[in-house]
Amino acid sequence: MRGICRDGALALGGALGWEVLRRRLRPGPRYRPQERPPYREFPHRVLVVGGGFAGYSAAMELCRLARGRSDVGVMVLSRENYFTFWPMLPGIVSNDVDARNLAQPLRRALIRAGASFRRAELQGVDPERRVVRAGGVEIPYDHLVLALGGEPAYFGIPGVEEHCISLRGIADAERIRNRVIERYEEATLARGEVPDSRLSFVVIGGGATGVETTAALHELVHGALAEDYPNLHPHRVRLTLVDRNPEILKELDPALRRVARRRLEQLNVRILNGATAREVREDRVVLGDGREILSENVIWTAGARASSKLDELPFPHDGRRGLEVDACMRVSGFEEVWGVGDCAANVDAEGDPVPPNAQAAVQEGRAVARNVLAVIDGGKPEPFRYRPLGQLVELGSRFAVNEVLGVRFSGLLASLFWRLTYLYKLESPQSRARVAADWLLDLFTEPAVAQIRR
């Protein structure tokens, strides 16, 4: 009996120790569920519309800054209950990352921080009454932060919307990978007797997304699929990258551009600079100079614009660049409305346009949170100052070109830096652990790939 009591005491002590450790590693939420006041009851209500990098960062920063206060309520309204971790999206194409791990859950993280969350599609805004309509209900606000993001721009080119896959999120990355698998299945069934256009893949757009997607396609074809389809030689698949600029990756240092180009050429990627798409047909891309690329698989990454949802809202905006905002990110003519991320034409303190990337969106979100609280407290907002940290571009799982705080490096070391950086930036601890485990297993195994047809 004494032994049983001793074992029970040890077990209880271990459980209590584990609970103390768990609480240390995972701080409690700002409110317990039963203690948290409803959003509508706060004296100052801040409604964030959009759950991407900018919107999420704004909400989390607001909750952090208002943690000791009971007068500021925060709600996030988003059409999805997750946000996509964009930097790793090409990893879905290459079968390097599980799609589920790039869907960063919004609800739990926001609730733990002290915010409310509603999943609904934005239907309209009434700035006079200060309410937002979404999902058939009205949600009041005292300050409104619009972070609606962007969408592909097609520039009126015939056939792009009908025949191209635009990389807009997780579903599109899976669609690209499934398209490659589908083509392999068709070619295997036909004993290789398929038109060359069936196994030709064209990526239009030579920015970071286009370059990384092209490299991901190569890794998929020459990695997992090469072992699963031994009767189809990987070199039968043709990869072409089309870019209207004189060089790919125009946002990078010229030396890194040349390194990236050489790397893609080593991967047998055909690069066409100074080329534009005049038309996309079912089986080919017609270039501006009349040349044609036979392909039934075209991926569009060549342009972006602000969300078309702005056309339904009563705020001044430019169809391409987004909301008209001042240097403090306030929407012109509306003191209580703010615009951040890809849906706003933000400029920094020097008047230079802010680039539409993730690090800028995060900085804008945090800055607008500080400005909103400053106005609530009777102060003045400050102009946004963008501080670029650099650019990281991965070209396959073992090569990258990076520029960080003026330091330029490439190769395997750059790839390791890329992975460690973005692994750290994943919001979900579970996603970090799963992605790290997948990458570790990939060093010793060759994961098989499957197409889940719906």
Q: Are residues 211 and 279 in the same domain?
A: yes
DSSP string, 46-68: EEEE--SHHHHHHHHHHHHHTTT
Q: Are residues 263 and 174 in the same domain?
A: yes
Q: Are residues 334 and 275 in the same domain?
A: no
Q: Give the Cα separation of 222 and 235 in Å (integer).
A: 8
Q: Which of 10-14, 238-242, 326-330, 358-362 has the lowest mean pLDDT?
A: 10-14
What average pLDDT does this structure show over 300-323?
93
Q: Give the Cα separation of 248 and 242 in Å (integer).
A: 9
Q: Give the Cα separation of 152 and 285 in Å (integer).
A: 18
- Closest by Cα among 22, 7, 102, 26 to 431: 102
Cβ pair 53, 361 in contact under 8 A = yes
The pLDDT tens digits of the residues spanning 160-204 come to 999 999 999 999 999 999 999 999 999 999 999 999 999 999 999
Residue 10 has a pLDDT of 46
Tell me: pLDDT of 32 over 90: no
Residue 82 has a pLDDT of 94
Tell me: pLDDT of 4 over 50: no
Tell me: pLDDT of 450 over 90: no
What average pLDDT does this structure show over 10-27?
53
Tell me: pLDDT of 280 over 80: yes
Residue 31 has a pLDDT of 62
Residue 5 has a pLDDT of 47
What average pLDDT does this structure show over 82-103?
93
- Measure the CA dihedral 270/274/280/285, to 10°: -40
Model confidence band, residue 8 (pLDDT cutoffs 50, 70, 90): very low
Q: Give the Cα separation of 169 and 133 in Å (integer).
A: 25
Q: DSSP 3-state assignment of 306?
A: strand
Range of the domain at 250: 158-302
Residue 320 has a pLDDT of 79
What average pLDDT does this structure show over 69-78?
96
Tell me: pLDDT of 351 over 60: yes
Q: Which of 82-86, 122-126, 129-133 has the lowest mean pLDDT?
A: 82-86
Tell me: pLDDT of 250 over 90: yes
Which of 355, 377, 399 is the endpoint of a domain? 377
The answer to whether residue 67 sits within a structural domain is yes
Q: Are residues 147 and 162 in the same domain?
A: no
Whole-number average pLDDT of the chain: 91
What average pLDDT does this structure show over 48-74?
96
What average pLDDT does this structure show over 314-339?
94
Residue 349 has a pLDDT of 79
Q: Are residues 236 and 251 in the same domain?
A: yes
The answer to whether residue 431 sits within a structural domain is yes
> Is the C-alpha dihedral spanning 427, 328, 143, 133 positive or negative?
negative
Q: Are residues 184 and 298 in the same domain?
A: yes
CA distances from 54 to 117, 182, 427 (A): 15, 36, 14
The answer to whether residue 2 sits within a structural domain is no
The answer to whether residue 413 sits within a structural domain is yes
Residues 6 or more apart from 283 whose CB is under 8 A from it?
195, 197, 294, 295, 296
Q: Give the Cα separation of 34 and 186 in Å (integer).
A: 56
Read off the amino acid at residue 210. G
CA angle, residues 402, 406, 410, in degrees to nearest 5: 25
CA 77 to centroid of chain Cα atoms: 18
Tell me: pLDDT of 22 over 70: no
Beta-bridge mates of residue 317: 323
The answer to whether residue 170 sits within a structural domain is yes
Q: Are residues 291 and 165 in the same domain?
A: yes
Residue 191 has a pLDDT of 93
Q: Is 367 exposed, middle or buried (0-12, 13-18, 19+ CB in 10 A)?
A: buried
The answer to whether residue 222 sits within a structural domain is yes
Joined together, the tokens standing for residue 288 give: 């501006």
Residue 149 has a pLDDT of 95
Q: Give the Cα separation of 318 and 209 in Å (integer).
A: 24
Q: Which of 14-28, 30-44, 229-243, 435-449 has the lowest mean pLDDT?
A: 14-28
Instruction: Kindly report the CATH number assigned to the domain that includes residue 69.
Output: 3.50.50.60
Q: Which of 129-133, 209-213, 227-231, 242-246 has the lowest mean pLDDT?
A: 227-231
Read off the amino acid at residue 447. P
Q: Is the pTM of this model over 0.85?
A: yes
Q: Are residues 257 and 324 in the same domain?
A: no
Q: Give the Cα separation of 210 and 242 in Å (integer).
A: 9
Phi, psi of 232 (to 5 degrees): -120, 110
Which of 377, 405, 431 is the endpoint of a domain? 377
The pLDDT tens digits of the residues spanning 200-222 come to 999 999 999 999 999 999 999 99
Tell me: pLDDT of 352 over 90: no
The answer to whether residue 12 sits within a structural domain is no
What average pLDDT does this structure show over 359-379?
97
Q: Are residues 246 and 332 in the same domain?
A: no
State how many domains the chain has.
3
DSSP string, 103-150: EEE-HHHHHHHT-EEEE--EEEEETTTTEEEETTEEEE-SEEEE---E
Q: Are residues 75 and 197 in the same domain?
A: no
The answer to whether residue 372 sits within a structural domain is yes
Q: Are residues 84 and 105 in the same domain?
A: yes
Cβ pair 167, 70 in contact under 8 A = no
Q: Are residues 346 and 316 in the same domain?
A: yes
Terminal Cα distance for the chain, rounded? 59
Q: Give the Cα separation of 346 and 350 in Å (integer).
A: 11
Residues 6 or more apart from 361 whose CB is under 8 A from it?
52, 53, 54, 57, 147, 340, 341, 342
Which of 302, 317, 343 is the endpoint of a domain? 302
Q: What is the CA radius of gyration of the chain?
A: 25
Read off the amino acid at residue 39. Y
Count the neighbouring beta carbons within 10 Å of the beta carbon of residue 32. Answer: 8
- Closest by Cα among 340, 342, 275 to 302: 275
Joined together, the tokens standing for residue 39 give: 């959003």
Tell me: pLDDT of 19 over 90: no
Tell me: pLDDT of 148 over 50: yes
